[in-house]
């Protein structure tokens, strides 16, 4: 399991007239050092601490006798019982892979005329330690002669090989109804500071082909997270809004992912199942398509991930990425 106990490595408070102190600890979810400066209120002789969306007033004496540390550990334990760090990472990665696959479903009707169907060849995003991780994506598409069915494959890996994913699907195009349905399977392998995890999933997707296309994906997943059995049933909804300009096209896409049911063996008995209590994950993307020639297009994009579950600051987790893709 992920490290559960908070390690308090710094506490500075000088004299009676001091106005504050430095408080630092290791975040149990990503193992980064968090440092906070707190100001002591002279009238009350204490301060408020917010941790995983819980707030409480403490005096300096309660810091020295360990009351604050014990309270923080209890708050984290309560949070871990619902949203373990390892599970949160796994569900975010799974939602990202499913959104990447769903991007292809938007353009099933005519892949040759929409660079968005190719997905993004290169995607780079910052990490918690201010470094950058770049992923490379390759898409294979084959369509039947009558245009009623197609086969899609997707393979992606990061430059540090900490994450690998692959998917393959079979789609049916209902041209008269302007609908597409796809049955696909995906696998993802990823590494954390604690070890290696893997997930296998099977999805059913349905797309409405129109100006503002929509897609909904129902997915069942099974795997190993922190050496514990993990499974979930999730739903993902996406909507694409294109704006045509003289020099190209701007497309806004937003995905919403929600876990309907989750099982995680790493929790205590009675808390292993979670039904309709998971956070919502939002993944908006803004992309720009440039037609450089009749047969060559370039796509630049910016995406964001927003998990509504709180982190140790009581804030929501946000991720960002810059994307680049081409289509011949």
Q: Is the pLDDT of residue 262 over 90?
A: yes
Number of independent structural domains in the chain? 2
What is the number of other CB atoms lying within 10 angstroms of the CB of residue 273? 12
Domain closes at, from 57, 82, 107? 82
What is the number of other CB atoms lying within 10 angstroms of the CB of residue 113? 10
Domain closes at, from 36, 52, 82? 82
Closest CA to 266 of 92, 52, 84, 74: 84
Q: Which of 74-83, 166-175, 207-216 has the highest mean pLDDT?
A: 207-216
Please give the pLDDT value at position 260. Answer: 95
138 and 221, same domain (yes or no): yes
Q: How many Cα atoms sit within 13 Å of 113 on the Cβ side?
A: 3
Please write the tens of the pLDDT for every residue from 97-121.
888 877 766 654 443 334 334 445 7
Task: For residue 302, tell me if it sits in a domain.
Answer: yes
Task: For residue 3, tell me if it sits in a domain.
Answer: no
222 and 304, same domain (yes or no): yes
Whole-number Å distance between alpha carbons of 140 and 298: 18
256 and 139, same domain (yes or no): yes
Q: Is the pLDDT of residue 220 over 90?
A: yes
226 and 121, same domain (yes or no): yes
Where in the sequence is the domain holding 26, given as residue range(s)?
8-82
Please write the tens of the pLDDT for every residue from 162-171.
899 999 988 8
41 and 65, same domain (yes or no): yes
38 and 144, same domain (yes or no): no
Helix locations, 57-180, DSSP H: 60-64, 67-82, 85-105
Whole-number Å distance between alpha carbons of 128 and 125: 10
Please give the pLDDT value at position 143. Answer: 76
């Amino acid at each position: 399991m992920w490290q559960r106990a908070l390690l308090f490595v710094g506490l500075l408070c000088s004299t009676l007239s001091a106005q504050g102190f430095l408080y630092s600890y290791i975040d149990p979810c990503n193992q980064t050092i968090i440092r906070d400066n707190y100001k002591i209120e002279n009238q009350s002789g204490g301060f408020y601490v917010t941790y995983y969306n819980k707030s409480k007033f403490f005096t300096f004496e309660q810091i020295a006798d360990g009351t604050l540390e014990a309270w923080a550990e209890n708050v984290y334990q309560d949070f871990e019982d619902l949203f373990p760090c390892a599970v949160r990472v796994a569900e975010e990665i799974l939602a990202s892979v499913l959104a990447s696959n769903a991007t292809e479903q938007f353009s099933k009707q005519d892949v040759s005329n929409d660079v968005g169907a190719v997905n993004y060849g290169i995607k780079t995003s910052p990490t918690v330690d201010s470094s950058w991780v770049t992923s490379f994506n390759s898409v294979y598409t084959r369509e039947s002669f009558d245009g009623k069915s197609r086969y899609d494959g997707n393979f992606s890996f990061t430059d540090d090989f900490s994450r690998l994913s692959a998917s393959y699907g079979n789609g049916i195009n209902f041209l008269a109804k302007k609908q597409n349905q796809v049955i696909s399977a995906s696998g993802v392998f990823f590494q954390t500071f604690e070890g290696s995890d893997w997930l296998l999933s099977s999805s059913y997707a349905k797309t409405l082909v129109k100006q503002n296309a929509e897609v909904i994906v129902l997915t069942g997943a099974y795997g190993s997270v922190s050496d514990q059995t993990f499974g979930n049933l999730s739903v993902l909804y996406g909507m694409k809004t294109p704006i045509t300009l003289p020099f190209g096209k701007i497309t806004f896409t937003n995905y919403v992912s929600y876990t309907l049911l989750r099982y995680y063996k790493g929790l205590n008995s009675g808390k292993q199942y979670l039904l309709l209590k998971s956070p919502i994950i939002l993944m908006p993307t803004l992309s720009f398509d440039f037609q450089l020639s009749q047969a060559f297009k370039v796509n630049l994009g910016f995406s964001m991930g927003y998990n509504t579950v709180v982190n140790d600051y009581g804030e929501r987790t946000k991720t960002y990425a810059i994307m680049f893709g081409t289509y011949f």
